[in-house]
Amino acid sequence: MTLNQTATPADERELVLTRVFDAPREKVFHAWTKPELLKQWFVPRPWTIANVETDLRPGGKCLIVMLDPDGREYPNPGVYLEVVKNEKLVFTDAYTEAWKPSEKPFFTCIVTFEDENGKTRYTARARHWRAEDREAHEKMGFHEGWNRCADQLAELLERI
Question: How many CA atoms, within 13 angstroms, populate the side-chain half-sphere of residue 119?
Answer: 12
Q: From CA 48, how far away is CA 141, in angstroms rounded? A: 17
d(CA 85, CA 76): 23
The pTM of the full predicted model, rounded to 2 decimals, is 0.90
What confidence tens digit (pLDDT) does each residue in 107-142 have? 999 999 999 999 999 999 999 999 999 999 999 999
Phi and psi torsions of 88, nearest 5° = -160, 140
pLDDT in tens, 18-35: 999 999 999 999 999 999
- Per the structure, the complete domain to which residue 111 belongs is given by 3-159
Residues 6+ apart with CB under 8 A from 75: 63, 64, 65, 66
**Could you give the number of structural domains in the chain?**
1
Query: Looking at residue 121, which CATH number applies to its domain?
Result: 3.30.530.20
3 state DSSP class of 51? strand
